[in-house]
Structures are given as structure tokens and as C-alpha cells.
Amino acid sequence: MASKTRKTKIIRKKKIARKGVKRKAALRNKGTTPTAKTLFAD
């Protein structure tokens, strides 16, 4: 069985790796460039 310290280190490592995943996925899928409609709304 793994020690408490080892478990904690792994949990922290996974948390750090997971940070911002939803935001990054949204940027990939939606993009960061404003739409033409918002840019040239007349």
C-alpha cells in the first residue's frame, strides 16, 4: 500500500495537470477570435 505522502503527491500532481482543462477545451472548440457579427455590427 502506498504511503500517505505518496498519495498526496500524486493527488497534487493530478490537480495541477487538470487546472484549466475546461477553459482550454472551450478555447480550442470555440476559438478566441470575435465573430464577424460582433466586430462589424452596424
For 16-36, the pLDDT digits (tens) are 999 999 999 999 999 998 888
pTM: predicted TM-score of the whole model, two decimal places: 0.56
Residues 14, 19, 23, 28: is their CA dihedral positive or negative?
negative
The CA distance from 39 to 33, in Å, is 10
At 2-17, the pLDDT tens digits run: 999 999 999 999 999 9
The CA distance from 12 to 18, in Å, is 10
Query: What is the number of other CB atoms lying within 10 angstroms of the CB of residue 13?
Result: 10
